[in-house]
Amino acid sequence: MSYLRRGDYERMLGLAVGVLEARDTDRVWCLIAHELMRSLDGAVLVMKDVEWTPGRGVVEAWHRDTLRASVLEGLGAEHIRRGYPFAGYYGFRTDRSPLTAAQLVGERMWLHSATASATRESFGTRHMLGVPLPDIDGHVRGFVVHRAGEDFGERDRLYAERIQPLLAGAAAQHGLLARWQSLVERPGPREATDRPGPREAAGRAERYGLTPREITVLLMLSEGFSAVGMARRLGISVRTVHKHLQNLYRKLDTVDRLGTVLRAQEVGLLPAAPERQCC
């Protein structure tokens, strides 16, 4: 029977702390890529957090030797975009168990497939392990770890299964932070010179002592999420959500949800409410 070592769980805890403290959205992906490739002996990690098709959309691959992402292009990228055999499996099932390509279609069929040829040519790898995320928008999302040498074993799949909830929470944190940045940095129709840039927006959050997690809670607060809805989206307890809300009230010197949103709009932590048109 396979089992995980204490060090595996310690690294997962370290990853969770790193993700919660990361103010740069790219930093979140870098931390995840490093941990997955290190613990699963992967050479390349392909992430699917946004929708792309075989013919269009940017696909990035993180490489273990450089820990940097590169954009996939050419015929090989087209095969990788198809997501064979994971797209066909996870796209029509609720099962989100981490599985290898060979498990899904058989080792012989996988190694003789066009996708396997493309990964060998592009990455020098032979095997893939799919680590899907929960389906929240109708699209298959998640990570594919590529490895040379022997295929992924039972211990690797157990590790991937244990880290899945953490990855789901990290992906939610990343998406909310990215949306917050795009909202506060996007100029309105008559206020292009008044909107903060990327560094200024982050600086404002730091001046008020807001953590990246509190920023995401503030964004969801402005979008009308209930405490239960926030908890489900972030993968945390309702009690923890209320703790974040209390911290926001204290740091922004407010007493309720509406006052907190209005205060955040006033100081540039949220986009200003659109002006009402007079009839």
- If one counts the domains in the chain, the total is 2
CA gap 127, 252 in Å, rounded = 50
State the Cα–Cα distance between residues 83 and 186, nearest whole angstrom: 33
Instruction: Pick the last residue of a domain from 162, 196, 211.
Output: 162
Q: Which of the 8 DSSP states describes residue 127?
A: E
Residue identified by tokens 């909202």 is 183
Note whether 148 and 191 are same-domain residues.
no
Examine residue 172 and state whether it is found in any structural domain, yes or no.
Answer: no
- Distance between CA atoms of residues 210 and 21, nearest Å: 11
Q: Is residue 211 part of a domain?
A: yes
**Do residues 158 and 31 both lie within one domain?**
yes
One domain, residues 126 and 236? no
Query: What pLDDT is recorded for position 275?
Result: 59
Q: Is 190 part of any domain?
A: yes
The answer on 22 and 57 residing in a single domain is yes
Identify whether 175 is part of a domain: no
The domain spanning residue 102 has which CATH number? Answer: 3.30.450.40
Return the number of other C-beta atoms located less than 10 Å from residue 250's C-beta: 11
Q: Are residues 21 and 65 in the same domain?
A: yes
Q: CATH number for the domain including 237? A: 1.10.10.10
27 and 156 in a single domain? The answer is yes
Q: Where does residue 99 fall: left (phi above 0), alpha (psi -120 to 50 degrees), or beta otherwise?
A: beta
Same domain, 51 and 129: yes
Contact 236, 269 (CB under 8 A): no
Helix or strand or coil: residue 99?
strand
The 3-state DSSP class for residue 44 equals strand
Q: Are residue 156 and residue 19 in the same domain, yes or no?
A: yes
CA distances from 124 to 61, 63, 119, 197 (A): 13, 11, 7, 40
Task: Answer yes or no: do 17 and 68 share one domain.
Answer: yes
Q: Where are the alpha helices (DSSP H) in the chain?
A: 6-21, 25-39, 74-81, 86-90, 101-105, 107-111, 114-123, 154-185, 198-207, 212-222, 227-234, 238-252, 257-266
Tell me: do 210 and 126 sit in the same domain. no
Domain limits for position 108: 6-162
Q: Is residue 103 part of a domain?
A: yes
- Alpha-carbon torsion, ordered 207, 208, 209, 211, to 10 deg: -110
Predicted local confidence at residue 132, as pLDDT: 94
Verify that 238 and 134 share a domain, yes or no: no
Instruction: State the sign of the Cα–Cα–Cα–Cα dihedral 33, 38, 39, 45.
Output: positive
For residue 61, tell me if it sits in a domain. Answer: yes
State both tokens at 56.
């269009």
> For 209, left (φ over 0), alpha (ψ -120 to 50), or beta?
left
pLDDT tens digit at each of 279 positions of the chain: 678 999 999 999 999 999 999 988 889 999 999 999 999 999 999 988 777 777 777 788 999 988 788 888 777 788 888 889 998 899 888 899 999 999 999 999 999 999 999 999 989 999 999 999 987 666 788 999 999 999 999 999 999 999 999 999 999 999 999 999 888 876 554 444 455 554 577 788 999 999 999 999 999 999 999 999 999 988 899 999 999 999 999 999 999 999 999 999 999 999 887 655 554
Question: Who contacts 219 (Cβ-Cβ below 8 Å, separation ≥6)?
Answer: 176, 179, 180, 183, 270
Task: Verify that 227 and 157 share a domain, yes or no.
Answer: no
Would 249 be classed as within a structural domain?
yes
Domain limit, last residue, from 147, 162, 177: 162
DSSP labels for 138-188? SS--EEEEEESSSPP-HHHHHHHHHHHHHHHHHHHHHHHHHHHHHHHHS--
Task: Identify the pLDDT of residue 56.
Answer: 73
Q: In this structure, what token pair is assigned to residue 222? A: 């402005």
Is 176 a member of any domain?
A: no
